[in-house]
Amino acid sequence: MGSIKMYMLSVDQSTQGTKALIFDRSGRMVVRHDMPHRQIIDENGWVEHDLEEIWENTKEAVRSALKKAGIAPGQIAGMGISNQRETVAAWNRKTGTPIYHGIVWQCPRGEAICGGIKAQGYSRMIKERTGLELSPYFSASKLAWLLQNVPEAALLAETGDLCCGTIDSWLVFQLTEGTAFKTDYSNASRTQLLNIHSLEWDEEICGIFGIPAACLPEICDSDSIFGMTSMDGLFENPIPISCVMGDSNGALFGQGCHELGMAKATYGTGSSVMMNVGRSPVASEEGLATSLAWSRGGEVHYVLEGNINYTGAVITWLQKQLRLIDNAAETERLAMEANPRDKTYIVPAFTGLGAPYWNSEATALVTGVTRMTGKPEFVKAGLECIAYQILDVLERMDRGERELNRPGLTALRVDGGPTKNRYLMQFQADILGILVEVPEDEELSGIGVAYMAGISLGFFDSSKLFDGKKRKTYAPQMGADVRCEKIWGWKKAIERTML
């Protein structure tokens, strides 16, 4: 007699590590296990991950989570995957062996390729078809770099044995022992190779980047059955992979932002700010991306999105490079101790600026420092720059919605580690002038894919799953004059980074 299927599994493969999360039938997370992986950074600032390490960590995270909770593998009904987006992988279709490290979304090595394509006059066409500004941030130029610089890539492409995809495709391929080479629409829409109108790989754009469309994965609904997995022998009876989404998209779903006009911000290494704009794409001339939120049962939802390179990573920088703090938790106390009138600004354009500026030439800057600026004030500026960057994106989203005669944003749902910081969350509400809602649940990316995976399998009752979710709400307390003065100072600092 088989085990009763009591739990749903999700794997959240993020920039810093891999998490396995297990949920009971009520949607409550019962266990989580984390496995960090190396950040491989060279003197050029190029960022890579070891794909084999990520695969091994995925298996170990799941094994350890099951053991920690005392759950038998046979009690798992299915699984979902959320993943760091834009990061690319390339491997041999026959052997499943990577031909190079994963090139991480933060890595700017595709800048020259984008510059050449821009000089040929393709920027506007690419933005209109893919919804994305031509940028080394997205996957296409990273894949183009691989094909130009890794001899094995070109050789395998000629024989039809090259697989290129985002991290979800790599994991699905490994989990299914090479039988499934698939991605979902949320991830495909972040490659800069998907036509978001026809919902197919754009052959012309693939040609512009020099990427054979044949080496790209099959695109599926986010709630598809991507394949069956034994997790390298862990599950005696293989379980279905019944959801795949990019991590930010998973967080949007997990936050319950299922209706038009709802918005969330995920604070991670970088940040993704997303607004659900419904079933039709909304073009933006404001430096925002138009992407797919997800596709469920053949029906797509689109988002406006702004991506910020350095938010939570600023806290890491304060700790590891500047050694101003021993751990992230210290930042809240120090910021509260700081002189509130200090006018120090940090613009963390370490590898250029992402949304809404898309300026890869911008350099990081610290301004407004006086003789009285000390460690607390510097840490305060590090936290505040996170909130200012979120403001820059939301200002443009909100303006776009008003132009479409839709109501302005009244609340922002947020998630990610930095949302535990009370100083940051209050400052975020103050500088936005709207409510900021922090869910009691953590790990919204993993929750989102677990919930969609479970709904797809009939494991969860979707009508009850999102009811009664508790949130801590921060309301704005800052006076309008102070808010305007602070924002003006930030805008001036931004201008200086781009001189």
Answer whether residue 161 is part of any domain. Answer: yes
Span 61-97, pLDDT tens digits = 999 999 999 999 999 999 999 999 999 999 999 999 9
At 402 the pLDDT is 55
Answer whether residue 221 is part of any domain. Answer: yes
| 421 CB burial (10 A radius; 0-12, 13-18, 19+) | buried
Q: What residues form DSSP beta bridges with 275?
A: 263, 304
Q: 367-376 — which CB contacts under 8 Å span 24+ positions?
A: 367/493, 367/496, 368/342, 368/343, 368/344, 368/489, 368/493, 369/344, 370/342, 370/343, 372/339, 372/342, 373/342, 373/344, 375/324, 375/334, 376/334, 376/335, 376/337, 376/338, 376/339
Answer whether residue 317 is part of any domain. Answer: no
At 441 the pLDDT is 83
At 1 the pLDDT is 42
- Assign 3-state DSSP to the chain and report helix, strand, coil percentages, each to 5: 40, 25, 35
3-state SS assignment for residue 191: coil
Predicted confidence (pLDDT) at residue 102 exceeds the cutoff of 90: yes
Answer whether residue 422 is part of any domain. Answer: no
**Is there a contact between 312 and 270 (Cβ–Cβ < 8 Å)?**
yes
**Is there a contact between 458 and 427 (Cβ–Cβ < 8 Å)?**
no
Span 149-168, pLDDT tens digits = 999 999 999 999 999 999 99
At 404 the pLDDT is 57
- How far apart are the C-alpha atoms of 13 and 81, rounded to whole Å? 8
Range of the domain at 28: 7-246
Span 440-479, pLDDT tens digits = 887 889 999 999 999 999 999 888 888 777 889 999 999 9
Work out the mean pLDDT of the chain and round it to a whole number. Answer: 93
Top pLDDT among 282 and 189 is at: 189
Across 332-344, average pLDDT: 95
Predicted confidence (pLDDT) at residue 481 exceeds the cutoff of 80: yes
Q: Which residue spans within 352-441 are E strands per DSSP?
A: 365-367, 411-415, 435-439
Span 18-30, pLDDT tens digits = 999 999 999 999 9
3-state SS assignment for residue 94: coil
Residue 122 belongs to a domain with what CATH number? Answer: 3.30.420.40
At 209 the pLDDT is 97
Answer whether residue 60 is part of any domain. Answer: yes
Span 302-316, pLDDT tens digits = 999 998 888 888 999
At 269 the pLDDT is 82
**Is there a contact between 70 and 19 (Cβ–Cβ < 8 Å)?**
no
Pairing of strands 263-267, 411-415: parallel
- How far apart are the C-alpha atoms of 415 and 433, rounded to whole Å? 18
At 272 the pLDDT is 85
**Is there a contact between 89 and 102 (Cβ–Cβ < 8 Å)?**
yes
Answer whether residue 491 is part of any domain. Answer: no
At 458 the pLDDT is 93
At 405 the pLDDT is 56
Predicted confidence (pLDDT) at residue 258 exceeds the cutoff of 50: yes
At 385 the pLDDT is 96
Q: What residues form DSSP beta bridges with 10?
A: 21, 80
At 357 the pLDDT is 87
Alpha helices in 70-198 (DSSP H): 111-119, 123-130, 139-149, 151-159, 167-175, 185-188
Number of compact structural domains in the chain: 1
Answer whether residue 405 is part of any domain. Answer: no
Answer whether residue 374 is part of any domain. Answer: no
At 264 the pLDDT is 93
At 468 the pLDDT is 72
Q: Could you give the C-alpha distances from 103 to 298, 354, 364, 426, in angstroms and in order? A: 31, 17, 23, 35
Q: What is the dihedral of CA 121, 282, 271, 439, to 10 degrees?
A: -170
| 495 CB burial (10 A radius; 0-12, 13-18, 19+) | exposed
Predicted confidence (pLDDT) at residue 60 exceeds the cutoff of 60: yes
Predicted confidence (pLDDT) at residue 104 exceeds the cutoff of 90: yes
